[in-house]
Structure 1
Amino acid sequence: MEQQLKAKVLLVDDEEDFVANLSKRLEMRGLKVTAATRGADAVNLADDIQFDAIILDLAMPGMDGLETLRRIREHNPDAEIIMLTGHASIKSSIEAMKLGAEDYLEKPVDIGELLKKISEAREKRILILQKQSKAEIEEILKSKAW
Structure 2
Amino acid sequence: MEGRTRVLVVDDEQRFAANLVKLLGIHGIDAEAAFSGEEALPRLREGEHHVVLLDVRLSGITGQATLERLRQEGVAAKVIALTGHASAEDALELIRLGAFDYLLKPCNTERLLEVIGKARARYDEERAGTPAR
Do Structure 1 and Structure 2 share a fold, with TM-score over 0.5? Answer: yes
Q: Deviations over 1:120-141 (max 9, x none)?
A: 0111111111118xxxxxxxxx
Q: Which amino acid aligns with 1:81?
A: V
Q: Is the 8 A contact 1:58 1:85 kept in 2?
A: yes
Report what 1:140 is aligned to. Answer: none
The structure 2 residue matched to 1:12, chosen from 10, 13, 17, is 10
Q: CA RMSD in A?
A: 1.4
Report what 1:141 is aligned to. Answer: none
Q: Is the 8 A contact 2:50 2:76 kept in 1?
A: no
Identity of aligned residues (%): 37
Q: Is the 8 A contact 1:9 1:53 kept in 2?
A: yes
Give the distance between the partners of 1:35 and 1:14, measured in 2 at CA: 9
Report what 2:95 is aligned to. Answer: 97
Q: Point out where structure 2 has 5 or more consecutive residues left out of the alignment.
A: none
Alpha-carbon offset, residue 77 of structure 1: 5.0
The structure 1 residue matched to 2:113, chosen from 94, 112, 115, is 115
Report what 2:40 is aligned to. Answer: 42
Q: 1:75 to 1:68 in 2, by over 3 A?
A: same
Give the distance between the partners of 1:88 and 1:127, measured in 2 at CA: 30
Alpha-carbon offset, residue 52 of structure 1: 1.2
Give the distance between the partners of 1:58 and 1:10, measured in 2 at CA: 14
Report what 1:84 is aligned to. Answer: 82
